């Protein structure tokens, strides 16, 4: 191969290499140009979020507490005297009226003694009558008559005492109510104070709870109570405050409060003494707050923030789209899934309610409200 062909081949090779490097450099410069153009236009992919217009809603101030129920009247039925059980007239869970005979102790020996004392009293009465006639006839002295009169009184008192002892062997209901579990059987021997069963008057129930001393100004006798029990999910029992303790507990700075649930609210006896309940106390006048779902708020160490959906002021389009604008807000009370906003936004602002994690100032927004976040005043657990 001659030198002219070698030179020609080298020239074409250099031209090819130059074209290759030129194309690579041109592609790189084109990418840099497009990136600069993208950054200059501040174009970002839109973030899909949910949003709603904030508005004022009525808020009823409510205090929450934990309490326990107790019966209007409740007592453990027991015997005042020792003895063997003769007859049991009741069953567990039975509804009884006041004065109904519940249980009878063996009393045959006490009855026999009563008869003997009654005979003594009769004899003392005859002696007193005879001595009274003899005193009028001056047949006996006044001292002998006084002994006879005192003997009659002792005999009558002994009879009354024995009758009272026998009466204590008949145990009756002190008030109307429902009995608990009866654990005594005929033939059993009981001592004074042994519990036979319990008796509860659940026609009305008391609820005892405590509130901090700072809430005293917002509560008064007659205020409405809403009582909830986990035994009856979704059910609300109404009551009212009946008494406020005269002193605040110096150890806890809490005040004890007593409420009452009438039988009109507990019609079927769902609530029972001793139950644990949660309750809310309606307190103060109705307030008006800007209200949002709690999912709209981002809680940070430096304060609470949310995102307002506003028109893009830097857009050159005839109808600019929405972008996110972060705002600091002051929060108020919460109720269920909602939170009150005291300052930082205005009535009618479009607020992002979900999707906050992917947002920052200026992020374009695409609003899709097909699935809304929870926004219930009193949410209840959903069954699976």
Q: What pLDDT is stored for residue 74 in this prediction?
A: 86
Q: What is the mean pLDDT of residues 222-245?
A: 89
pLDDT over 90 at 362, yes or no: no
Between 325 and 283, the higher pLDDT residue: 325
**What does the alpha-carbon distance between residue 121 and residue 109 come to, in Å, rounded to a whole number?**
18
What is the domain class of 63-70+202-282 according to CATH? mainly beta
102 vs 77, 96, 280, CA distance in Å?
9, 9, 40
**pLDDT per position as a tens digit, 73-118:** 888 988 888 989 989 998 888 889 999 999 999 988 888 999 999 9
**Cα dihedral across residues 308, 309, 311, 317: positive or negative:** positive
pLDDT value of position 265: 76
State the average pLDDT over residues 193-199. Answer: 89
Q: Is the pLDDT of residue 53 over 90?
A: yes
Asked whether the predicted pLDDT for residue 309 surpasses 90, the reply is yes
Q: What is the pTM of this model?
A: 0.59
Question: What number does CATH give the domain 47-59+288-367?
Answer: 2.40.420.20
Tokens encoding 315: 């857009």
Question: What count of other Cβ atoms lies within 10 Å of the Cβ of residue 49?
Answer: 22
Q: Does residue 369 carry a pLDDT above 70?
A: yes
Query: Does position 157 have pLDDT exceeding 90, yes or no?
Result: yes
Structure token pair of residue 110: 């006490």
- Provide the CB-side half-sphere exposure for 195 (13 A, CA): 10
List residues bridging with 65 in a β-sheet. 279
Residue range 60-74, pLDDT digits in tens: 888 889 999 998 888
């Amino acid at each position: 191969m001659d030198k002219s062909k070698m030179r020609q081949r080298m020239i074409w090779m250099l031209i090819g290499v130059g074209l290759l490097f030129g194309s690579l450099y041109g592609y790189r410069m084109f990418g840099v140009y497009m990136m600069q153009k993208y950054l200059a236009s501040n174009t970002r992919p839109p973030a899909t979020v949910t949003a709603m217009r904030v508005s004022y809603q009525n808020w009823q101030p409510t205090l929450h507490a934990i309490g326990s129920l107790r019966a209007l009247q409740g007592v453990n039925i027991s015997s005042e005297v020792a003895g063997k059980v003769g007859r049991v007239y009741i069953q567990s869970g039975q509804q009884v009226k006041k004065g109904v005979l519940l249980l009878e102790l063996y009393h045959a020996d006490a009855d026999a003694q009563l008869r003997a004392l009654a005979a003594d009293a009769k004899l003392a009465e005859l002696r007193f009558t005879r001595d009274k006639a003899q005193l009028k006839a001056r047949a006996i002295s006044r001292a002998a008559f006084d002994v006879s009169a005192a003997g009659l009184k002792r005999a009558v008192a002994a009879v009354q005492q024995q009758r009272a002892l026998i009466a204590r062997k008949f145990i009756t209901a002190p008030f109307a109510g429902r009995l608990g579990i009866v654990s005594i059987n005929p033939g059993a021997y009981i001592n004074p104070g042994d519990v036979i069963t319990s008796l509860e008057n659940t026609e009305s129930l008391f609820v005892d709870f405590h509130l901090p001393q700072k809430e005293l100004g917002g509560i008064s006798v007659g205020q409405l109570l809403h009582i909830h029990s986990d035994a009856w999910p979704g059910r609300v029992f109404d009551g009212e405050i009946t008494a406020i303790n005269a002193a605040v507990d110096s150890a806890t700075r809490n005040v004890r409060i007593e409420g009452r649930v009438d039988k009109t609210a507990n019609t079927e006896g769902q609530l029972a003494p001793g139950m644990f309940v949660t309750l809310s106390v309606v307190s103060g006048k109705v307030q008006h707050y800007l209200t949002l779902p709690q999912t709209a708020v981002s809680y940070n160490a430096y304060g609470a923030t949310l995102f307002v959906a506003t028109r893009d002021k830097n857009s050159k389009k005839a109808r600019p789209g929405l972008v996110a604008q972060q705002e600091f807000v002051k929060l108020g009370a919460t109720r269920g899934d909602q939170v009150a906003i005291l300052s930082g936004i205005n009535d009618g602002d479009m607020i992002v309610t979900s999707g906050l994690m992917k947002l920052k100032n200026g992020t374009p927004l695409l609003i899709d409200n097909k699935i809304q976040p929870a926004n219930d005043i009193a949410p209840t657990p959903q069954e699976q």
